[in-house]
Structure 1
Amino acid sequence: MDRIKNIFFQVRGKIAFYPTLISIAGVLVAFLFIYMEQRHVSEYLMDIAPGLVIDNTETARTLLSTLIGGLISLMVFSFSMVMILLNQASSNFSPRVLPGIISNEKHQIVLGLYIAVILYNIFILVSIEPTKSNYQTPGFSVLIAIILTIICLAAFIYFIHNISQSIQVGTILNSIHSSAKNRLLNSINTQEFRVFPSQENWSVSAIETTGYFQGTLTGNLLETCIDNDLKIALDFRKGQFILKGNKGLKTNKPISDKVKDKILRSLIFSSEELTGDNYIYGFRQISEIGIKAMSPGINDPGTALNSIDYLTELFSLLMQVDEFEYWTDDKKTLRVFIERNTFSEVLFNVLATYRPYCLGDIIVSQKLLCMLNRLSERVINADQSEAIEEEITNIKKDLELQIKNSRDLTKIKEGFNSWS
């Protein structure tokens, strides 16, 4: 079941997922109305509301042909705009935000609606067949085609509004921040303090797959552990690139090749970086957007300031996340142990990328120091406090090398209030 869910979530992120489902629905609706026409639904409607039914065959053919051509043009225009959006997002923000935009369900649903209505109109048009010397006109189906086309026009207006919002950097940052925040909160709410046994004398096995480690099929992995009375430790972290042959799988006792194969099939590897439930990508994407905003080609320090605000809240949540991830069976017996990226590691990686690009700007520099000072008020342990103090020292040292104006340096040391 976990494997099926994993495949479903991967497929759902593809841009063709919803369009395919909605298109199939459009074809099925077309066949339903063709069947209803064979039961003379148009004749019944003609007796009740003749003004709603088109009873002229040539008019129906012309109308359906016009609707098909118009919807195809509308679809091409709409999704030419999507390609422009993707190109602009890649150039101005980061190529890593593209999967989130491509998997936008709203865009997929609009595309699917266009294709479904086009297919519906085509099948209804084809269904107009000669009966002896006359034509059977599906007047009711043509009426539905008109209504569906009006819905497509409304969807087009909504699409224009939504796409104009999607390209704004604030919307992109907020989307990434919300996603990473939800993953962090989920980790905080589900974690329990555990003591995992020492792994000093455990058996170590090699990984037989190359790719980015995305996570585990938890149910399958726990089932393998229970059936073989195993405890497992993974010596690598989510998002890490693993080479075939790396020794990263530890077990509390030697295992057969069959059991090892079951364990490896429960680990999810991908040839590309996928967000999944890995909140580290949220830190990475937000920091990349902030850094790129400081490049000479874009020169948008306001976006860099906003990115630091979002990172501040994420770091405050990361402080509460345990350094290890544990999985237990139904009897609460510890079975799986996975390392996580620690607060100090993530903080260093983020600030190590900001420092070379942002410390020439006094406002952004002060914003970074302000973030660290706020985080210092929320520390949970001494390691976090030490990491923050070290980063503050590093920033101040770099500022002294890059900023030559003594007044600016004095203002930073005094902790002036910036406007953001």
Structure 2
Amino acid sequence: MSSSLCRRAHCLFTTRTTNSPIKPFSVISEPSTSKSNSSATTTISKPKTPKPTSPISSRDKKIRTLVKKFKKDSQNASFRQHNHRSYEITVRRLAAARKFSCVEDILEHQKKFDDFADERFAVRLISLYGKAGMLDHARKLFDEMPQLNCERTVMSFNALLAAYVNCKKFEKIGELLREMREKLSIKLDIVSYNTIIKGFCGAGSVDSAFEVIHKMEKDGLEPNIISFNTLLNAFYSTGRSSDADTLWEMMESKDIVPNVRSYNPKLRALVADKRVLEAARLVEDMESKGVQPDTYSINALIKGFCREGNLEQAKSWYGKMVGDDCGPNKATFVSLIPLACDKCDIDFALELCKGAIARRCLVDMAKLQRVVDQLVLGLKTDEAKELVELGKENNFYRTLKLPTDE
């Protein structure tokens, strides 16, 4: 990561601990009051010792330190302008840990800076709230912009609209559109319409998403590659390949050149339909048209051939992936390692395990343990020991062991 703050956030949220579940920053236990003894002789009972407050966990202390450091760093104008990634990573990890009050602490702190007069800075904060799932805060920030001397245009509205989609509040998008048009007279742009298309697709209303194309054209806007790619993904993922074919025709009529994200949904659909050879031919067709397949393209084929038990073809496409500098990811190794073991290609399985560890891909540890076991059975104890040692260097695989280990 580019900054020490990013590294701090990464270590904080990826280090596994044996502590009990995370406790709130401060949990104050009220002292319990003793009941009086209702005997004939009235006695004054000794007050019970108040229960000690719950200790703040070491992880919570680190989080508080992280927030404090972030707020201090953000005092620097250069940090605010150039460390977008630090904002993204820190907010995402805090939200994943459900530390929403910390997200609010960091982002509300930003409103005091002069940068907020620039709508682009406000857009970043609205987007961060949306990605953290804090829609009410995103909306509140948008509403406060005029009081904070920040102009609201379609750019900040699009950020708010995206927050509704990220938070899966699809049913409220229509209400938001009506409200914004009436109160602010904002004219939607291509980003607005693409976000609405994404929202309808996310809600499962693919036909409504398709109708947005016609609405765009009525408003004098032309759909772009993002519009069509979102719809292609929705149609293929819902098994509507014939409707997707119509989209391909529309793209051709509008001179919109497909890219790899246009082809990938079709590849996945072909593989799901057990038409793997046809998917392989589609990749070749892509390349002939100058469209370079990416990790997701090749993974679709590898998954298909693995399901068919065809290790030779799966291995061939893996070689192409590595040779084309198209990096394998977790999905690659999840598909290939079990098949390599099934086919007793233990050398290839070892290569895959080393690749998964080197790339810090968190594959189910049982899959790697199976490789260790098969290496020992194949009298390749040195290789098994090497894999166990590599595993110990990665916290996720630290429990890998030789079959003879106690």
Normalising by structure 2, report the TM-score: 0.29
- Max Rg structure: 1
Normalising by structure 1, report the TM-score: 0.28
Higher relative contact order (CA 8 A, sep 6+): 1
